[in-house]
Amino acid sequence: MAKKELFKENGEGEEVCKADFPPNFVFGVATAAYQIEGACNEGSRGASIWDSFSHTEGKIIDGSSGDVAVDHYHRYKEDVNLIHKFGFDAYRFSISWSRIFPDGVGTKVNEEGIAFYNNLINALIEKGIQPFITLYHWDLPLHLQETIGGWLDKQIVNYFAIYADTCFAHFGDRVKNWITINEPLQTAVNGYDTGIFAPGRREGSSEEPYLAAHHQILAHATAGSIYRSKYKDKQGGQIGLVLDCEWAEANSDKIEDKSAASRRLDFQLGWYLCPLYYGDYPAVMLERLGDRLPKFSEEEKKLLLNSLDFLGLNHYTSRFISHATSCSEESYFYKAQEMERIVEWEGGEKIGEKAASEWLYIVPWGLRKVLNYIARKYNNPPIYITENGMDDEEDNSLPLSEILDDKLRVHYFKGYLAAVAQAIKDGADVRGYFAWSLLDNFEWAQGYTKRFGLVYVDYKNSLTRHPKSSAYWFSRFLKGGEKKNGKEN
């Protein structure tokens, strides 16, 4: 397909309304513990790798940390009320492992941490909001990093299993939707290869990212096995894994570019889904990485198969992919793929409009393509879009009224939701969508320089919350008040 035609296909520019989705489709917002909670030294919480990383000079672009973040720990009732006000029926959040087990080991449960999450869960349920809980969103207890090397040691699988079991036991009577691990690729590559995320390993061996990924896959499957054998029948919930994926569109009709795009998808999704659906890593990874990829035992392969009830997909953007024998990105992981990610082609036309982050371009058609790809390659699993959104630059020079009128974000959500609706019509089994993010927050290595929230947080004035136009757009959309083809629904 010619590139310009990609901008016209998949209904780009069409209006979308709630009636375009199945009756039981879940609409929610998402956050992560380290990004919003704060209270780093309260409630007997232990330190995490992100506490250590963010306090290391030069690691966070603005020198900030999540010590206070947006103080969700103390303001969770206010934030739950916002979710309810906008009409969302689900909230995806993560539990801080070191709030439950301060050292991560699992010898003594921290009752203050249990109480906090019980209070949050109860507040959600009182408002009719379904909790979707992520057990691990990158904030590994620091003690486990310092004593065993974090995800590089297989012992981590057992520690994660104890932690997961504890959460199922304490919260599973009310929580019916569990996610084991968020974006294991980011932990493996940015934590143990490029070093731009905690724990910041950059000088390790080329095997480290694959070892970290291997143990995360086993941790997911082990936690899934525990849930299914001990809790599922009684609690009636489901458990899944969240992966991130940019759509990879071949930059030309040349066979080498098509192969590079296919490779790119296998190195993103196949790295995790092939073991879970087919029992081993993708053939292209086995061929290219050889002994750098750890091996699953026959017993482990049995554990992996069918260990998820649903797949969570975090998707923000897409790229054109071309074959390249040398890669401009300094990473073992990217070099092994022999490809380049491209955002523009001859004439300077870009793949989409750029958001604030250098990696984020607005490409709605890519989401439809990746959903259909997953449906086709992995036997059409139930999918929740667990993150989707865009960021604005922090800009103190603008008046608040202008900042809150986030027209581009509204445009983004309209386009991507239309793409989801069309993927469902194509036959993809998509069951929910979570906007990222409820609140402006600590954006990892970017600190507070990027704002993804539906709600503006005034960092300089008591962390006051101000809903943006996108929040009000969602409120109208969820009440069925958006126009389609010029008519009110």
Residue 393: which residues within 8 A CB-CB, separation 6 or more?
356, 449, 450, 451
Alpha-carbon span 335 to 264, nearest angstrom:
11
CA 423 to chain centre: 20
Q: Which two tokens stand for residue 229?
A: 């054998």
Instruction: Report residue 451: phi and psi, to 5°.
Output: -125, 115
Distances (CA, A) of 348 to 242, 343, 344, 354, 357: 34, 9, 6, 13, 19
Q: What is the Cα–Cα distance from 75 to 167, expressed in whole angstroms? A: 22
Active site residue 287: no
Residue 374: which of 459, 416, 312 has the closest Cα? 312
* Count of residues in the chain: 489
In terms of phi and psi (left: phi > 0; alpha: psi -120 to 50; beta: otherwise), the region of 216 is: alpha
Continuous H helices in 364-485: 364-377, 400-404, 407-426, 469-478
Annotate 238-298 with DSSP letters as a single string. EEEEEEE--EEEESSS-HHHHHHHHHHHIIIIIHHHHHHHHSS--HHHHHHHGGGS----H
Max Cα-Cα span within the chain: 62
Determine whether 387 is an active site residue.
yes
Which is catalytic among the residues 12, 208, 300, 387? 387
From residue 210, how far is each of 191, 268, 286 by CA, in Å?
Answer: 11, 12, 11
Amino acid identity, position 310? F
443 in a known ligand binding site: yes
Phi, psi values for residue 44, rounded to 5°: 60, 25
Beta strand 464-467 with 455-458 is: antiparallel
In DSSP terms, which residues pair with 467 in a beta bridge? 455
Structure token digits, residue 155? 């012992």
Residue of 428, 351, 419, 433 whose CA lies nearest to 10 = 419
182 labelled as ligand-binding?
A: yes
Q: Is 345 annotated as a binding residue?
A: no
Rounded to an integer, what distance in angstroms lies between the CA atom of residue 293 and that of residue 286?
Answer: 7
Binding residues for substrate: 35, 137, 182, 316, 436, 443-444
Catalytic residues: 183, 387
Binding residues: 35, 137, 182, 316, 436, 443-444
